[in-house]
Structure 1
């Protein structure tokens, strides 16, 4: 594993040097992202700072079943020494990235440039926190004086940068190609139900992919801005390959895990229905969702599994009150879960323990993953996998990469899935997938 610096290779053990300054005349996140160098990074989450990353001071990659531990080991080496003046906690050096869903991820199209795990320490990052904006320059193995010089240059560049105009319209879709026909989908769901009835499975999450040819290349900064207006309470993200040959982006409602100190915040998000035309219809649909046996059973499986996955690490676990989570196009059943760890842990250890949750994989996990591989005619890549960030202390925030797409030029590949249990109906599950495409489709059409 290596850090990348101006095309050269620097040992991770050389140490992180980081300098930060507060900006008085600050850009907006969309402007900062549009002007960023590849690979660009974007992260915005409820209750967190919004971060725009430009370039890479260090990049950590890993593959295979040990990718979680390999990333952690490389990060420990990277953060083992350094000279950091952050100015504010939100602007501290952090690694941003994600993991593949499957251990044996191959990175085939459209996932070129996305290995089994990849995390970037941005060369420059702009942090939007508490009504203030901070500019940071990170480096590995460079002198503090050089980093301070680069910070001043970057600040001057921002001062001279013109303000970007209005957010553009979606590019429009000229053609759609489904990886799974409806008849193939129904066959796959029926086969999964037969496995459940035979006792091989309790639940499995099956997904589809949709390839959209666009009338012009997608502006991801514009798409993320529009998603923020429609889905302000979701986790918005962008991760690009080194060559900026594409971008994996989305606005997911599902938190995987958040770790601060020994306090863990996670939850279960499973069970879906649409939104009503009126407040009264909205309430009726929500009540029907909570009362529906199929969705309640699916949700209970997720809650129980998340608690079981946390138990080896926790001194205590508390399950909150079941509630409805309303988004622009759908409603979900949500149960918050909080735990206190028995000892200090790195967030990546919890990420590994929780992935994949039954909300995106199934039960039992091994049989569910086998069924997913047998059924889905495409590679999930980073879809439905952990994406987020962590810092030198091992604290961090990760979401499950749903409501997402990979965009490359004038082509975008979207992903969506549903949970299948014993009383699932293939036609209804098909309709639910189409509903879950909507957040990203709305930013393309």
Structure 2
């Protein structure tokens, strides 16, 4: 590691002090996550650096309908005063976290430790960018010398981590408890389609929760490694409560929004079918999905809404070609959408504008959210809400937290939902929800 400069006493800084260095060796990700302090954070996305956060230099929280603005303002204040030397763009300090789905969210079980919004500035973060690994150490109200000494100590630790060994097997599931029976589900779907037929709704996304009892303790590093191998093209994340007593994690295929410069990338992901046993069956199912009136209608509702929500911020909006997104267990209809911003908007402004998309909420939004609240017999918490990161420039990347679960002690609660439109069939929608449990369920069984 290169010298960090003078070790002479320096005045304590009122704000953020951040130092980074490139590691001489690239440490194993599972080993880094295994030795990380709570709360741990993990973010890995297609075309982005993978970041593992350890501990908290500071945490900002907010609740209620103003939580997006409150987080943005607190972060602006945090980044406004400081002494930051990143050395590389990938190693810059970032805030990692997410939001609750509903404005009126409360921290009831199992969502203790997950307020309406929470973002963590890791005390230590390891960033994997290409073939390199960077170490960043952050401090609030610290002296540069103290942060630099912590950087040296941490670098020595990460360059001598022990081999974590084999990934091992999933923890196994001893029991399952559903929040919604098949009979209750049919009643809910029929009630929703009746409201759609009456013109009160155009679409609503109804979800279920599945509480599993685990046979053995869940290893989060091993679980995220298995998800990475099976879903390399998805957004994989972990956000822990402050005390490390669990973790909200997932491998979601759905990007909410990414912003770099004035370029914004988002898209529509809606319409689902299974995978075939052969390439020929895969192609047949994909062609059937693209020709299915119900799924295409659901997809178009989402794409139209995303374009409409971006329009007030954009000088231009471009829609890419509709295609099939293939994952390990399902296939989706996908349409990429790109925009160029008129002004220098913070990524959180775009997150607030786009959440919830009709892919996880419905249309019209207010009526759909009311229907979800009245219908679902469980608390969504952070499920289907924005999770991701942002930096001092207001750049960032956020995904929609589907294909996700909340682990706490010997249990893991899985979440999955499906879009309901006028011609939805309750039994087919039930089967689709069970299919969407598979990405996480396969890593637990």
TM-score in terms of structure 2 length: 0.97
Matches within 5 A, 1:152-301: 152-301=152-301
| Distance in 2, Cα, partners of 1:155 & 1:311 | 45
Specify the alignment match of 2:41 in structure 1.
41
Secondary structure, counterpart of 1:233 in structure 2:
coil
Specify the alignment match of 1:351 in structure 2.
351
CA drift of 1:410 comes to: 1.5
Is the CA contact 2:390–2:397 (under 8 Å) kept in the aligned structure 1? Answer: yes
Matches within 5 A, 1:138-157: 138-157=138-157
Specify the alignment match of 1:135 in structure 2.
135
Is the CA contact 2:388–2:396 (under 8 Å) kept in the aligned structure 1? Answer: yes
Specify the alignment match of 2:303 in structure 1.
303
Specify the alignment match of 2:317 in structure 1.
317
Secondary structure, counterpart of 2:158 in structure 1:
helix
CA drift of 1:161 comes to: 2.8
| Distance in 2, Cα, partners of 1:341 & 1:159 | 42
> Residues 3-40 of structure 1: CA distance to partner in whole angstroms, max 9, x if unpaired?
xxxxxxxxxx9311111111112311111111100000
CA drift of 1:107 comes to: 1.3
> Residues 54-103 of structure 1: CA distance to partner in whole angstroms, max 9, x if unpaired?
00001000000000000000000000021111111001000000000000
> Residues 130-159 of structure 1: CA distance to partner in whole angstroms, max 9, x if unpaired?
100011100111011000001111112223
CA drift of 1:178 comes to: 0.3
| Distance in 1, Cα, partners of 2:287 & 2:161 | 51
Structure 1 residues without counterparts, runs of 5 or longer: 1-12
Specify the alignment match of 1:378 in structure 2.
378
| Distance in 2, Cα, partners of 1:159 & 1:283 | 46
Secondary structure, counterpart of 1:103 in structure 2:
coil
Specify the alignment match of 1:441 in structure 2.
441
Secondary structure, counterpart of 1:217 in structure 2:
coil
Specify the alignment match of 1:7 in structure 2.
none
Is the CA contact 1:27–1:163 (under 8 Å) kept in the aligned structure 2? Answer: no
| Distance in 2, Cα, partners of 1:64 & 1:22 | 40
| Distance in 1, Cα, partners of 2:320 & 2:159 | 47
| Distance in 2, Cα, partners of 1:341 & 1:33 | 36
> Residues 369-389 of structure 1: CA distance to partner in whole angstroms, max 9, x if unpaired?
010011100000000000000
Is the CA contact 1:14–1:78 (under 8 Å) kept in the aligned structure 2? Answer: no
Specify the alignment match of 2:8 in structure 1.
none
- Taking only aligned residues, the RMSD between alpha carbons, in angstroms, comes to 0.8
> Residues 249-305 of structure 1: CA distance to partner in whole angstroms, max 9, x if unpaired?
000000000001110000000000000000000000000000000000000000100
| Distance in 1, Cα, partners of 2:239 & 2:376 | 24
Decide which moves more: 435-444 or 77-86: 77-86
Specify the alignment match of 1:331 in structure 2.
331
Matches within 5 A, 1:20-35: 20-35=20-35
Specify the alignment match of 1:5 in structure 2.
none
Is the CA contact 1:314–1:342 (under 8 Å) kept in the aligned structure 2? Answer: yes
CA drift of 1:112 comes to: 0.6
1:119 and 2:119 aligned: yes
Specify the alignment match of 2:51 in structure 1.
51
Secondary structure, counterpart of 1:20 in structure 2:
strand
Secondary structure, counterpart of 1:79 in structure 2:
helix
Secondary structure, counterpart of 2:188 in structure 1:
helix
Structure 2 residues without counterparts, runs of 5 or longer: 1-12
Secondary structure, counterpart of 2:373 in structure 1:
helix
Specify the alignment match of 1:3 in structure 2.
none
Specify the alignment match of 2:93 in structure 1.
93
Secondary structure, counterpart of 1:14 in structure 2:
coil
Is the CA contact 1:65–1:104 (under 8 Å) kept in the aligned structure 2? Answer: yes
> Residues 302-360 of structure 1: CA distance to partner in whole angstroms, max 9, x if unpaired?
01000110011111001111000000000000000000111110000000000000000
TM-score in terms of structure 1 length: 0.97
Specify the alignment match of 2:365 in structure 1.
365
Q: How many residues align?
A: 433
Secondary structure, counterpart of 2:303 in structure 1:
helix
1:415 and 2:415 aligned: yes
| Distance in 2, Cα, partners of 1:156 & 1:395 | 31
| Distance in 2, Cα, partners of 1:81 & 1:132 | 29
CA drift of 1:225 comes to: 0.3
| Distance in 2, Cα, partners of 1:194 & 1:28 | 53
CA drift of 1:438 comes to: 0.1
Is the CA contact 2:123–2:137 (under 8 Å) kept in the aligned structure 1? Answer: yes
| Distance in 1, Cα, partners of 2:196 & 2:330 | 27
> Residues 200-231 of structure 1: CA distance to partner in whole angstroms, max 9, x if unpaired?
00000000000000001110110110000000
